[in-house]
Amino acid sequence: DAGVIQSPRHEVTEMGQEVTLRCKPISGHNSLFWYRQTMMRGLELLIYFNNNVPIDDSGMPEDRFSAKMPNASFSTLKIQPSEPRDSAVYFCASSFRGGSNQPQHFGDGTRLSIL
Amino acid sequence: KNEVEQSPQNLTAQEGEFITINCSYSVGISALHWLQQHPGGGIVSLFMLSSGKKKHGRLIATINIQEKHSSLHITASHPRDSAVYICAVLIGGATNKLIFGTGTLLAVQP
């Protein structure tokens, strides 16, 4: 089992640039989550999808952030334009949402630094 | 007030000690996760529980739904247990949303 795969692992870019983070969930999982982790705020849910449909995007900070899930095996989180305060570790997680609760499996995260 | 509160925030223990980390929550939940994160590392789900107790090796997790409280215990602690332990609750109902505690930083000294 390959686990949740995120890319890139690290990203350093200048403010104003577009940043795209990628996630491949575990095969067969139908829920996908994007989280952000900072020292100040800890882990926060940004958005999650069930069966490729966005269910709750109330955690998305502002219009500069957007997320898509074009199919069951791929999702992107895009920041345009990026700002230094977006620097954080971004985690993707997936789970199977069925009749009973199933644990979420996390990727290794993308460490993003905006200069 | 945070919906999920953990205590202590920081914990230093000597190798071999019994460790307890506590989590209290104020919302209705369908399940609770205990997560482990090593410095600079990814997040691993240790337990997901909705009642009673679960045990895996030296780790034990308990939950009391009526009191809205969970504990994570580590027996015979070891330096490799040093990590941040995060409690996260799965909100009940149709949503599949996790709300996280702020984490407990554990350092086990040899």
Please give the pLDDT value at position A107.
95
For B72-105, write each residue's pLDDT tens digit: 999 999 999 999 999 999 886 666 678 999 999 9
Question: Could you report the per-residue pLDDT of B19-64, keeping only the tens digit for each?
Answer: 999 999 998 888 999 999 988 778 999 999 999 999 999 999 999 9
- Tokens 């000690």 — which residue? B17
DSSP notation for B57-77:
TTEEEEEETTTTEEEEEESS-
pLDDT of residue A75: 98
Q: Closest approach of chain B CAs to the CA of A80, in angstroms?
A: 25
Q: Are B10 and B102 in contact (CB under 8 A)?
A: no
Q: Do A101 and B102 touch (CB under 8 A)?
A: no
Which residues of chain A neighbour B87 with C-beta distances below 8 Å?
A: none
Nearest to A42 among B90, B96, B102 (CB): B102
Query: Residues of chain A with pLDDT > 70: what percent?
Result: 96
Confidence of residue B67 (pLDDT cuts 50, 70, 90): very high
User: Given an 8 Å threshold on Cβ–Cβ distance, is A95 in contact with B42?
Assistant: no
* pLDDT beyond 70 at A105: yes
CA distances from A60 to A54, A66, B108 (A): 12, 8, 36
B50: enclosing H helix or E strand: none
Q: How confident is the prediction for chain A on average, in pLDDT?
A: 92
Per CB-CB distance under 8 Å, the chain A contacts of B99 are: 45
Query: From CA B2, how far away is CA A80, in angstroms rounded?
Result: 30
Q: What pLDDT does B90 receive? A: 87
Tokens representing A52? 């490729």
User: In Å, how far are A10, A51, B49, B60, B63 from B90, measured between CA atoms?
Assistant: 29, 18, 10, 19, 13
A50 neighbourhood in chain B, CB within 8 Å: 96
3-state secondary structure (DSSP) of residue A89: strand
Q: Does B50 touch chain A (CB under 8 A)?
A: yes
Q: Look at residue B97 in the predicted model and tell me its pLDDT.
A: 79
| Distance in Å, alpha carbon of B90 to nearest chain A alpha carbon | 9
